[in-house]
Chains A and B, each alone.
Chain A
């Protein structure tokens, strides 16, 4: 079964840093684009960042650009999110999600599956 397991969440003070990890298993990680999506308590889904399979293409939401860095290690089947200069509004459950296997010749449709999420709380 395809599995994504996030780790690294926790309590951090405003201005602090945190590194999230996502361990992938049971699929060829290096073949898929990967994504981070977050959800603040009681709120909707917010896309954070995406990275192509080879790391050639990287995209960020305006709300995190310049503060967060997405990366991957295909040899370790792992995705990362380095979060710096954290703010209270970054408090959320952070989900790792794979591009779905449903693809055209140019793009894949949606995210599938998602990990169970890791909670990041930014508070003094």
Chain B
């Protein structure tokens, strides 16, 4: 089965840039989506199809995907960005939705 690997945690100072990676075999050939989940809340889609933003999501959130790694980039990080972030793909070879294990973003 297809596996997505995320670092358990990433820390960044306010105003700096956070990069959260999502590794998978030839993930560059797949469409990757990212979710933000704050404590006690449901997940929210922040990037879809590798690099597009849903309406209402700040331009500070961006994404890229190539080779074996997809990346969610959060520029000018704010305290309110502190949350868990999950990547997700559709694995067409098994007809399964796959989530990464999640990354906890800490704003120092």
**A interface list, Cβ under 8 A from B:** 35, 37, 44-47, 50, 59, 61-62, 95, 97, 100, 102, 104, 107, 109-117
Contacts and interface: CB of A to CB of B under 8 A. Distances in A.
B96 interface: yes
Interface in B86-107: 86, 88, 90, 95-102
B80 interface: no
Q: Chain B: interface residue count, which band?
A: 20 to 34
B43 interface: yes
Interface string B35-66: 10100001111001100101000000000000
Contact of A45 (B43, B48, B90): B43
A95 B43 contact: yes
Interface of B: 1, 31, 33, 35, 37, 42-45, 48-49, 52, 54, 84, 86, 88, 90, 95-102
A47 B35 contact: no
Given A45-B86, A100-B48, A102-B54, A109 B99 contact: no
Given A112-B48, A113-B44, A115-B42, 13 more contacts: A45-B43, A59-B97, A100-B45, A100-B48, A102-B49, A107-B31, A109-B48, A110-B33, A110-B35, A110-B45, A110-B88, A111-B45, A112-B54
A111 B95 CA distance: 16
A113 B31 CA distance: 18
B53 to A, nearest CB: 10
A37 to B, nearest CB: 8
B21 to A, nearest CB: 16
A50 B43 contact: no
